[in-house]
Amino acid sequence: MINYKKISILIIAVTLIFVIAVVVFGLSMKSGTANTSYTLKAYRNTVALYQNDNLIKTYDDIVLNTLPISDINRFKSGITVSSENDAIRIIEDYDG
């Protein structure tokens, strides 16, 4: 004889596990993109753009020792922005 109550509980459990897996996967994908940060930082006597901790571009047209000390200190500390476009906007202020 088929026990419909056990089959129903099994179907509900499998469905619940599937839903939880989809939610966890979705959240992990979303948080992976949210953790991307860009930082403009002093690099030798120029400025570099880092994505997370990886150097992705240097701006050799910006010579640090020609900038005011307050700007040099900002670059030494690092300027964190949310996108590469935001970094480019800041660089444009220094790059002529």
pLDDT tops 70 at residue 84: yes
Average pLDDT, the chain: 85
Mean pLDDT value of segment 72-79: 96
pLDDT tops 60 at residue 4: yes
Mean pLDDT value of segment 46-50: 97
Residue 28: pLDDT band (50, 70, 90) is low
Please report, as a single letter, which amino acid is at residue 45: N
Q: Rounded distance, CA 66 to CA 42, Å?
A: 13
Strand partners for 49:
40, 57
Output the pLDDT for position 95: 65
Strand partners for 55:
50
Output the pLDDT for position 23: 74
Residue 33: pLDDT band (50, 70, 90) is low
Domain ranges of the chain: 1-35, 38-94
